[in-house]
A = this chain, B = another copy of it.
């Protein structure tokens, strides 16, 4: 399979590597910035382009992996009316590709990517969608080459999955970052929290998270909750988050009972 990769960010980089490792040919890497295109293309033995005049219009698959707001415009520039075009965005509807080709869809890998950190694609869930059942089957077959966990979701489901991922991943990581700041004020090393973070994530791998909830709010220890809020008085941002999240823990417990 010949693939053109449009984009050079974290997702494009990781997907390009994964397809290459799976034995697929990345023929071109496009980026608006030719230097960025070159950096990734060199790693994939592909040709770097930044001008659509040079686009290979005979490839089997065009993967658009750019900022959400650029997807629609970019798709129109491809002018490959009968070739398969997919985007990789969680929060963008499939309809953003409408009119760009007769075959289009979505190939959304649910993972937090950085350019340098290698990830095991076999375990990454892929949410796929196609504009026809046949296209969906084709995209599924493509995703199957990378991952054991391919699911077909509607755009609405995928958007909910993306929001859920923001909570479970982006916001969790931010809580780690805030806790590191708090430790720094007391000259304490973030390393103290690392085993706890690992264990917290490990516990929900085989359990429902609401059943694993521990801490002062969940055990109704109002004295400790209030002591913590008082101790955070010089940090209104964390104080506010502490209150809201503690209340939300109590609310969820009520919902689980009801």
Contact of B241 with A248 in the complex, beta carbons under 8 Å: yes
Contact of A244 with B244 in the complex, beta carbons under 8 Å: yes
Known contacts A169-B200, A215-B170, A228-B166; A161/B176 CB under 8 A: no
Contact of A160 with B188 in the complex, beta carbons under 8 Å: yes
Asked if A182 CB lies within 8 Å of chain B CBs, one says: yes
Say how many copies of this protein the assembly contains.
2
Smallest Cβ-Cβ distance to A125: which chain B residue? B192
Asked if A224 CB lies within 8 Å of chain B CBs, one says: yes
Q: Please give, as numbers and ranges, the residues of chain B lying within 8 Å of A172 by CB-CB distance.
A: 172, 175-176, 197, 200-201
- A10 to B192 CA separation, bound complex (whole angstroms): 20
- Smallest CB–CB gap between A93 and chain B, Å? 10
Asked if A110 CB lies within 8 Å of chain B CBs, one says: yes
- A193 to B240 CA separation, bound complex (whole angstroms): 27
Contact of B186 with A157 in the complex, beta carbons under 8 Å: yes
Segment among A45-53, A97-105, A111-119 that sits at the interface with chain B:
A111-119
From B69, B190, B240, B241, A223 is in contact (CB under 8 Å) with B69
Asked if A24 CB lies within 8 Å of chain B CBs, one says: no
